[in-house]
Chain A
Amino acid sequence: EVQLVESGGGLVQPGGSLRLSCAASGFTFSSYWMSWVRQAPGKGLEWVANIKQDGSEKYYVDSVKGRFTISRDNAKNSLYLQMNSLRAEDTAVYYCARDPGGAGTLILDYWGQGTLVTVSS
C-alpha cells in the first residue's frame, strides 16, 4: 500500500525556518517525481515545488524561489522541503504527492495527509 506521511510542521515566527519531511513507503520511491503542494486555510491548492527521481531537476513556484529548497534521499525513501525566511503568507497545510509522470506533469496520484505550517509571531 502506497503511503506518504508528512511531518515537521508547526508554529514558527516570521523570518524563521522549518524543514518538512515526507516518508514514503509501499512503492519504489526512487522511480518517481515528487511534489509539494500547499493549501492556505480556507483557500485553494497551490503547487510549490517538484523534484526529479535523481534530484537533478527541481522546479519552484515563484513565490518561494530562493527561500525554499526541495530535496530527497532515495536511500531513506524521504522527500524534504527546507523552508527559510518564512512569511505569514506561507501559512498552509503542506502536502507531499507522488507523480508517476515525467517532467512537466502533475499526475499527483497519491497524497499524504498534510502537515500544518503556521507562521506567526
Chain B
Amino acid sequence: QSVLTQPPSASGTPGQRVTISCSGSSSNIGSNYVYWYQQLPGTAPKLLIYRNNQRPSGVPDRFSGSKSGTSASLAISGLRSEDEADYYCAAWDDSLSGGVFGGGTKLTVL
C-alpha cells in the first residue's frame, strides 16, 4: 500500500480534460512539494511537473499541476493518444525521511 493514494485508472477521449488526484498527509504533501512523473510503456519515467506546478522545459502546457493542503492533482487538457501512460505523484516525507510515490494511475485514451 502506497503512502500517496492515486486512483488506479483514469480515462478520457481525445480533446477532453482529465484530472488525476493524489492524496497524502501532513508529513508529505502537506509540508513538501509534489512531483508528477509520466511512464510510457517499456520506458523510464519522465519528470512532468515539479514543485507542485512547474513544468520542465519541453513539457507541453497541456499538463498542469496543483496542490491544496494534503492533496494534489495533475490535469491534462486536450487529451491525445500519446498521453496514454502511467502517471505517478511523488513527494518527500518528513516522517519517513525519504521519498514516497503514489501507486500510479493508468490513463487510457479511448
Q: Interface size on A (CB < 8 Å)?
A: 23
On chain B, the residues within 8 Å of A35 by CB distance are 99
Q: List chain A residues, Cβ under 8 A from B45.
A: 37, 45, 95, 108, 111
CA distance A60 to B93 in the complex (A): 12
- Which residue of chain A has its CB nearest to the CB of B88? A45
Measured in the bound complex, the distance between the Cα atoms of B90 and A101 in whole Å is 14
Contact of A59 among B56, B98, B102, B103 (CB under 8 A): B98
How many interface residues does B have (CB within 8 Å)? 28
Q: What is the chain A residue whose CB lies nearest that of B32?
A: A104
Please, which residue of chain B has its CB at the minimum distance from the CB of A50? Answer: B99
Within A34-69, which residues are at the interface with B (CB < 8 Å)?
Answer: 35, 37, 44-47, 50, 59-62
Given A59-B98, A108-B45, A113-B44, check contact A44 B88 (CB 8 Å): yes
Pair count A-B, CB < 8 A: 64
Contact yes or no, A47 B98, CB < 8 A: yes
Residues on A with C-beta less than 8 A from B90 are: 45, 47, 106
A47 to B35, CA, bound (A): 13
A-B contact pairs, 11 of them (CB 8 A): A37-B45, A44-B86, A44-B101, A44-B103, A45-B37, A46-B101, A61-B96, A61-B98, A95-B44, A106-B92, A108-B47
